[in-house]
Every structure is written in C-alpha cells, then in structure tokens.
Amino acid sequence: MLGLDVARVWLFFSFTHDNIKYPCALVHWFSHMSESADRGTGMWVVEPDMTNEGRPIASIIHLDTMIPAAHLLPVFKVGFVSKSLSFADTLDKFQMFYVNKFVDHHTFEIVF
C-alpha cells in the first residue's frame, strides 16, 4: 500500500510544550496479512496488532502523519452475523478487514 499503515483512532488530543501545540491521536495498529492485495477483491487485508497477552498495540502519533481515509470492511467467515451486531462494534467483533479501495477517488489514487 505504498508504504502506508492502517490504524484505528481511539482518541484525539493535543498538548503544549515550549509554547508549541502538538495535535495527536492515540491509535491501534493493524498489520497487512500478506505482501500483496487479495486476488479476488484487489483489496489489501489487514488484522489488528495484538500483544501476546491479547492487548492492542497502540501508539501516539502526530496528526500531520495521518491520511484519514481508511475504510475497513469485515472479512466474513462461514456462518451468520448476529442481527444485534451494530456498525459501531464491527472493529471489535471481526479479526480481519479489507481496506476498501472503492471508498473514494482520492483514497484509490493514494493507496492503490
């Protein structure tokens, strides 16, 4: 994906040091599942990065380093999805995601 990584933003915040304001985000990283895009969809597949204890791998990054354009689609496995599943819970309930290259023209041009 042209050297880009995918992350989920948990929190936006800023702090001031020596009279300079630093806008930041606390993010949870995702890893690419392979070295190339999925053959069937043409989209990259990612999974959340976790420690050996199952905790998310998180970092604080400056907002200038972000391109806020990732749209993640769940990779569905065999079986049904609960009717009670909310869109707000999707990133917590699925283990793999497609990076949607069709979300908009600019994302397609940057990522693919």
Question: For the segment 35-81, what is each residue's pLDDT rounded down to a tens digit?
Answer: 888 999 888 999 999 999 999 999 999 999 988 777 899 998 888 88
The angle at the Cα of 89, spanning 79 to 78, to the nearest 5 degrees, equals 10
Are the C-beta atoms of residues 107 and 101 closer than 8 Å to each other? yes
24-111-109-65 Cα dihedral, nearest 10 degrees:
20
- In percent, the amount of the chain with pLDDT more than 90 equals 55
- Supply the DSSP symbol for 50: B
What pTM does this model have? 0.82
Q: How far apart are CA 50 and CA 30, in angstroms?
A: 9
Which residue spans within the chain are E strands per DSSP? 6-17, 20-32, 45-48, 58-62, 72-74, 97-99
* pLDDT of 107: 65
Predicted local confidence at residue 108, as pLDDT = 65
